[in-house]
Amino acid sequence: MFNQTEAVPSVSPHLAGSAVRINPTDQRSKQRSTSLAPAGFVPLDQEARTAIPTPIACVHIDRKPSCLYEWSSKGNGPIKPVKVNGRLLWLVADIRRLLTQGQ
């Protein structure tokens, strides 16, 4: 711990939230994610499709589309897409596994 004579390090207000990882099971996180969701968004526990497009997958795993495109092109991500007619689709089973097991 800090000695009372030592200064306590301060965190810049604009960086304060950057170190916080959003828990995907947190209700506030779900409300925030679904309010910004693209058309065709269905909560993951109600998803009937076997594969979903990148914008919808991004909402579920809380990543930007550029991150998923990088995973696809470099092949270094925790999940891999399938290509259908030139479009990237992400398997719902892989997304569920990622969210339950973590990275």
pLDDT digit string (tens) for 3-54?
A: 444 443 444 444 344 333 444 555 544 444 455 678 878 899 999 999 999 9
Indicate the DSSP class of residue 79.
Answer: S
User: Who has greater pLDDT, 3 or 83?
Assistant: 83
Q: Is the pLDDT of residue 56 over 90?
A: yes
Strands 82-84, 87-91: parallel, antiparallel or unpaired by DSSP?
antiparallel
| Prediction pTM value | 0.63
The two counts, helices (H) then strands (E), for the chain are 4, 3
> What is the distance between the alpha carbons of residues 68 and 58, in angstroms, rounded to a whole number?
7
**How many angstroms separate the first and last alpha carbons of the chain?**
30
The pLDDT, as a whole number, for residue 36 is: 66
The pLDDT, as a whole number, for residue 103 is: 54
